[in-house]
Amino acid sequence: MVVTSVQILRASKTILLDPAARVRHHGSTGYSALERADFLLGRAVFMGKYLGFGAGLRSRLAAVFGPLVSFRWGEVRYILSGQKIEGTQF
């Protein structure tokens, strides 16, 4: 379960920062086509909401044409359908 800082603050909890803390990343197995498409669509919605219609449109077009040019057909399929990970539509 991932808890964001916004959720912590909404719960009236305190966020403590430890500058001495270090994290080591041991690599990743990568993302599935659905996870990558969900990220790209989410970013487009965020850009449209907070940076304006033009930025959202550019991000949406990049979300479609980037995987299309890279021949990532699974991502293209999920992006064009608007499918999100939890099953809803954009």
Rounded to an integer, what distance in angstroms lies between the CA atom of residue 9 and that of residue 64? 35
Q: How confident is the model at residue 20 (pLDDT cuts 50, 70, 90)?
A: very high
The tens digit of pLDDT for each residue in 71-86 reads 988 888 888 888 777 7
Our separate counts of H helices and E strands in the chain read: 4, 0
Model confidence band, residue 2 (pLDDT cutoffs 50, 70, 90)? low
3-state secondary structure of 17: coil
pTM score, whole prediction? 0.62
∠ CA(71), CA(76), CA(77), 5° rounding? 125
Note whether 41 and 89 are within 8 A (CB). Answer: no
Q: What is the pLDDT of residue 89?
A: 61
- Report the C-alpha gap between 33 and 84 in whole angstroms: 11
